[in-house]
């Protein structure tokens, strides 16, 4: 397929049937609408393009800037679209909790402004909260901002009413599914698709999914946050259910590992919520029904999010010579040397002094003649074996003598005959009045 | 009453719980000393300090924990703290005199905030460390030291306006401190005054609950300290201020339920939850929620010492991603903290007597009038929503079943707006005149920071209480000394 512009590749995403052996539903065909296959990576490509398109040319003439309150996929799509049209893009957000997305936005040339955390000494009468100031700056008379306003812009919903919804009907041979399950973020996709499907068949049941209040799932709002969204109308949904972050990741893993669909946690939440919703209905059914859920975006951007919640998924094989293998007893009995003796020993010129602190700290002040190998790097080196010859005595130094003792024990275990830890570390060295230098 | 009662029950640790289980004592105290009455628990302060110390210990950090004195005027609390090894942060001449009088030696006192000449002179005379707002104050201090032949002054430089690379954080502007961008002129002034001042470190205080903003500031301080060292100065500490917060509520589920229902009340999909439909900063525009919830996050699972722990474990993005604690340690810097609310967590109660209970419209909340003004219980002033505990005067009669009630709590001033809270409060039983409503955990900023003598009404007296065996003992706040509990007040 040949296109003149990448924007033509937005939409017309596949509708893929989930293997019944995976979902276990006996009477319901479950389909995933693969919005992750949009060119910039998510369902938001449609809304971003539909909202920005009519204004891009005029904004480019004025040298304007596209702005949006977005912490993720809308920002990503808008950053690309702005760049393609010679505009800059700024995202203002207090929800940017995914480091990979933040980095990607910076890579794409976006400017990011983060709203500050809540005030600790609250002034209940304060009127100058940063979000209010932001809105004020948008409406200044000479403003050249193109604010796409995704939470209130009806063109967000429209993109799905004219695109995503009809595509689903077309792919189901002109029928609307019996069920539609979607996560509520801007409410644009769920509202637009629901409206399109219901025009076809008013009996379509629509389930909205929100995040549990104390939880965080990227791209999904909690019920309170949903109320802040202009496009959100509770009447759109037959039910509104809650999903937890753990459930979202569980759903995501099923899609990733068993269905070949590299969905992110939002898609995982939709899958999990869909199965939970449909299981009850399935037990009562005799005829066949169909259900559709949306896979919003891809897994790759969420590795740190998943790692924080499910570290065991990233379990790496044990590596030899790791300081973690050294017992506390070994550490306590590791060869060590006090400050005065260490000074005398260094004076003989024999030992190599290795400072395990970070390069910044080393640069600021260190023992004269020492070598800086930051502990992370030292650990890497030791996996490969002893980095010193046996006949070279070594004095290890860290801030308080704890890490150095652990490494001294490890090096001893690895067969080094004369390694010692500086007791009390650089801090004790300083407190004893021993000299520290800067180079 | 409109559905289930929406309780926001206070978090009560052992001491406060035990006090609330002593109705005779509480009634005796208010009968004798009046309502409102503040009650402080000095021993709790020492326990809280230990929690901060253990976080320091875990990260191998040295440095001082300074109580932000302004959070409570109590002498008992200050004297109890003087008996530990902690420090105190004073922000006025009176607070400095109070601290010196309570037994703090100058090495355990830091003078911060806006200063008048008398405050600055006493601070310099007594050799307490002075946290300086900027060049003007530095010049003023140096002049004072020279003119009055005072000892060399130990100074901290308060900084602000830290910038992160990559992402611009729209932090609230602070009117205190010197912007990092204007550092050069300040350091030149420090060098010029080298004959009379010693730079011991830098300080910041950010009014935010956000880890990333605080981490950015701490990284900025490390860079500034490095700049100081390269100029030949010898600073050795960073003072990161306070703002570690407190967890007020026992049950996170109650808090989540309440805030959701408040949202719905504002949107009009459930009956109001506040006096006059107040929205605490939220409002409805065409069925969509607008505004910002102006409330303290009363349920905070990570607060106080645990917050400090998490902050110290936070990776320093601009310095190789090592945890902040590791960087402080490696650079051989002491860490100073100035907790107020967090150090006074669970350190006190405010007792108020019920004067009148009146039915309003049918099925509506009861009007409960207290012998206290809104400014005597300043929880609302700080956006903290938390239920008072009912301590009945008479034990419940046999066979009476306590029914939950909704109430509005009014203060004793002749003023429409004198509401203890604008929230409709749910209580597990109907209070009666003579009962006490006890507000827990008010020692941090909610006892005397806002209290006035408007209308010739008294401000609350303060009592210090401690346990001897199973018995609670007490004395007036200013009668308390660390010797009191052991020897008895006589």
Give B269→chain A minimum CA distance, Å.
Answer: 11
pLDDT at residue number A173:
95
pTM: 0.85
Which residue in B has a C-alpha nearest to residue A398's C-alpha? B330
Chain B residues with CB under 8 Å of A399 CB are 60, 326, 329-330, 332
Cβ of A361 within 8 Å of Cβ of B331? The answer is yes
Distance CA B89, CA B106 (A): 11
Q: What's the token pair of residue B340? A: 């107020």
**What domains are defined for chain A?**
6-43+154-314 (3.40.50.1100), 46-147 (3.40.50.1100), 323-431 (3.40.250.10)
Give the count of beta carbons closer than 10 Å to the beta carbon of residue A262.
17
The residue count for chain B: 490
CA B327 to chain centre: 28
Block means of pLDDT (10 residues each) for chain B, 490 residues, are 82 97 97 97 98 97 97 97 98 98 98 95 97 96 97 95 73 80 93 96 88 88 92 94 95 94 92 90 86 90 95 87 92 96 97 94 89 92 95 77 91 86 95 97 92 86 94 96 69
Burial class (CB in 10 A: 0-12, 13-18, 19+), A435: exposed
Cβ of B172 within 8 Å of Cβ of A364? The answer is no
Cβ of A112 within 8 Å of Cβ of B297? The answer is no
Q: What's the token pair of residue A389? A: 């010859």
In words, the CATH class of domain B42-245+296-336 is alpha beta
Residue pLDDT tens, chain A, 439 long: 899 999 999 999 999 999 999 999 999 999 999 999 999 999 999 999 999 999 998 888 888 899 998 878 999 999 999 999 999 999 988 766 788 888 899 999 999 888 877 777 666 666 566 677 777 777 777 778 899 999 999 999 999 999 999 999 999 999 999 999 999 999 999 999 999 999 999 999 999 999 988 788 998 999 988 988 889 999 999 999 999 999 999 999 999 999 999 999 999 999 999 999 999 999 999 999 999 999 999 999 999 899 888 888 887 666 788 888 888 899 999 999 999 999 999 999 899 999 999 998 999 899 999 999 999 899 989 988 899 998 999 999 999 999 999 999 999 999 999 999 999 999 999 999 999 998 8
Give B158→chain A minimum CA distance, Å.
Answer: 18
Helix (H) / strand (E) containing B259: helix B252-267
Which residue in B has a C-alpha nearest to residue A376's C-alpha? B322
Quick: pLDDT tens for A355-406: 999 998 999 899 999 999 999 899 989 988 899 998 999 999 999 999 999 9
Chain A residues with CB under 8 Å of B280 CB are 124
Residue pairs between chains A and B whose CB atoms are closer than 8 Å: 139
Preferred mutation among B70, B113, B167 to probe A, highest tally of A CBs within 10 A: B167
Q: What's the token pair of residue A29? A: 């065909």
CATH 2.40.37.10, domain B14-41+346-468, yes or no: yes
Sequence spans of domains, chain B: 14-41+346-468, 42-245+296-336, 252-291
Give A64→chain B minimum CA distance, Å.
Answer: 19
Which residue in A has a C-alpha nearest to residue B263's C-alpha? A224
Preferred mutation among A70, A131, A361, A401 to probe B, highest tally of B CBs within 10 A: A361
Give the count of beta carbons closer than 10 Å to the beta carbon of residue A252.
26
Which residue in B has a C-alpha nearest to residue A429's C-alpha? B332
Residues in Cβ contact with A286 at an 8 Å cutoff, skipping those fewer than 6 apart: A27
Q: Describe chain B by its helix, strand, coil percentages, rounded to 5.
A: 35, 20, 45
Distance CA B190, CA B116 (A): 20
ipTM exceeds 0.95, yes or no: no
**Residues of B labelled as active-site residues:** 414
Cβ of A361 within 8 Å of Cβ of B267? The answer is no
Cβ of A214 within 8 Å of Cβ of B252? The answer is yes
Give B399→chain A minimum CA distance, Å.
Answer: 40
Closest CA to A414 of A391, A392, A383: A383
Quick: pLDDT tens for B41-53: 999 999 999 999 9
C-beta separation of A225 from A183 below 8 A: no
User: B245 — alpha (psi -120 to 50), left (phi > 0) or beta?
Assistant: left
Of A106, A112, A400, Cβ closest to residue B60:
A400
Preferred mutation among B325, B332, B333, B449 to probe A, highest tally of A CBs within 10 A: B332
């Amino acid at each position: 397929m040949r296109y003149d512009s990448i924007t033509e590749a937005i939409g017309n995403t596949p509708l893929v049937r989930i293997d019944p052996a995976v979902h276990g539903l006996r009477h319901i065909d479950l389909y995933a609408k693969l919005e992750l296959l949009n060119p910039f990576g998510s369902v938001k490509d449609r809304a971003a393009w539909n909202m920005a398109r009519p204004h891009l040319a005029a904004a480019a003439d004025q040298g304007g800037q596209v702005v949006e309150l977005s912490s993720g996929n809308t920002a990503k799509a808008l950053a690309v679209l702005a760049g393609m049209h010679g505009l800059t893009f700024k995202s203002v957000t207090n929800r940017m909790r995914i480091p990979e997305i933040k980095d990607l936005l910076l890579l794409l040339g976006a400017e990011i402004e983060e709203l500050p955390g809540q005030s600790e000494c609250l002034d209940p009468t304060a009127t100058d909260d940063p979000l209010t100031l932001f809105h004020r700056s948008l409406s200044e008379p000479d403003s050249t901002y193109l604010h796409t306003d995704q939470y209130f812009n009806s063109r967000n919903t429209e993109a799905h009413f004219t695109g995503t919804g009809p595509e689903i009907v077309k792919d189901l041979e002109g029928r609307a599914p019996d069920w539609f399950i979607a996560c509520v973020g801007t409410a644009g996709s769920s509202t637009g698709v629901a409206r399109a499907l219901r025009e076809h068949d008013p009996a379509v049941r629509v389930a909205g999914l929100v995040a549990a209040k104390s939880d965080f799932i990227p791209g999904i709002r909690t019920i309170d946050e949903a109320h802040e969204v202009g496009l959100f109308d509770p009447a759109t949904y037959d039910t509104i259910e809650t999903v937890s972050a753990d459930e979202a990741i569980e759903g995501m893993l099923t899609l990733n590992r068993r269905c070949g669909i590299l969905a992110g946690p939002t898609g995982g939440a939709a899958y999990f919520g869909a199965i939970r919703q449909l299981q009850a209905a399935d037990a009562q059914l005799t005829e066949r029904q169909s259900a559709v859920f949306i896979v919003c975006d891809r897994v790759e951007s969420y590795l740190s999010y998943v790692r924080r919640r499910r570290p065991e998924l990233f379990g790496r094989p044990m590596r030899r010579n790791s300081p973690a293998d050294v017992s506390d007893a070994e550490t306590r009995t590791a060869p060590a040397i006090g400050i005065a003796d260490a000074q005398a020993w260094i004076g003989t010129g024999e030992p190599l002094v290795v400072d395990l602190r970070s390069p910044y700290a080393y640069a600021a002040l260190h023992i004269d003649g020492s070598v800086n190998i930051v502990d992370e790097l030292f650990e890497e080196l030791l996996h490969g074996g002893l980095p010193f010859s046996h006949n070279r005595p070594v004095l290890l130094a860290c801030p308080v003598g704890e890490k150095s003792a652990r490494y001294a024990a490890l090096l001893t275990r690895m067969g080094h005959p004369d390694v010692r830890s500086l007791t009390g570390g650089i801090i004790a060295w300083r407190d004893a009045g021993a000299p520290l230098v800067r180079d | 009453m409109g559905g289930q009662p929406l309780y926001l029950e206070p978090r009560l640790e052992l001491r406060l719980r035990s006090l609330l289980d002593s109705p005779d004592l509480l009634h005796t105290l208010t009968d004798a000393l009046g309502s409102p009455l503040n009650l402080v628990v000095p021993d709790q302060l020492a326990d809280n300090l230990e929690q901060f110390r253990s976080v320091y210990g875990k990260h191998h950090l040295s440095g001082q924990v300074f109580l932000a004195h302004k959070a409570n005027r109590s002498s008992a609390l200050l004297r109890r703290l003087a008996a530990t090894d902690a420090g105190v942060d004073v922000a006025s001449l009176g607070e400095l005199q109070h601290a010196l009088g309570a037994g703090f030696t100058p090495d355990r006192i830091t003078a911060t905030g806006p200063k008048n000449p008398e405050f600055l002179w006493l601070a310099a005379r007594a050799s307490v460390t002075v946290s300086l707002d900027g060049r003007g104050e530095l010049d003023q201090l140096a002049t004072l030291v020279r003119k009055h032949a005072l000892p060399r002054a130990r100074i901290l430089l308060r900084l602000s306006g830290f910038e992160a690379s990559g992402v611009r954080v729209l932090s609230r502007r602070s009117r205190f401190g010197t912007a990092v961008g204007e550092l050069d002129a300040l350091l030149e002034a420090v060098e010029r005054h080298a004959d009379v001042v010693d730079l011991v470190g830098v300080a910041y205080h950010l009014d935010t609950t956000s880890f990333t903003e605080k981490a950015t500031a701490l990284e900025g301080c490390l860079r500034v300290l490095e700049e100081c060292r390269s100029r030949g100065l010898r600073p050795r500490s960073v003072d990161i201020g306070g703002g570690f917060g407190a967890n007020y509520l026992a049950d996170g589920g109650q808090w989540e339920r309440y805030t959701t229902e408040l949202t719905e009340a504002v949107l009009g999909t459930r009956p109001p939850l506040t006096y006059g439909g107040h929205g605490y900063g939220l409002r409805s525009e065409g069925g969509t929620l607008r505004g910002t919830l102006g409330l303290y996050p009363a349920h905070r699972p990570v607060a106080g010492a645990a917050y400090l722990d998490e902050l110290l474990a936070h990776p320093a993005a601009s310095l190789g991603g090592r945890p902040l604690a590791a960087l402080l340690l490696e650079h051989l810097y002491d860490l100073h903290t100035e907790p107020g609310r967090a150090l006074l967590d669970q350190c006190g109660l405010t007792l108020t007597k019920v004067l009148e209970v009146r039915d309003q419209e049918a099925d509506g909340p009861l009007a409960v009038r207290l012998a206290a003004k809104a400014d005597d219980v300043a929880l609302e002033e700080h956006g903290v929503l938390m239920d008072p505990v009912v301590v009945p005067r008479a034990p419940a009669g046999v066979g009476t079943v306590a029914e939950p009630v909704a109430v509005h709590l009014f203060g004793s001033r002749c003023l429409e707006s004198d509401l203890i809270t604008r929230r409709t409060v749910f209580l597990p039983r109907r209070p009666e005149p003579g009962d006490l409503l006890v507000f827990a955990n008010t020692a941090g900023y909610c006892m005397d920071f806002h209290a006035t003598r408007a209308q010739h009404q008294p401000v609350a007296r303060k009592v210090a209480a401690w346990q001897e065996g199973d018995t609670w003992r007490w004395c007036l706040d200013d009668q308390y000394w660390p010797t009191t509990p052991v020897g008895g007040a006589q």
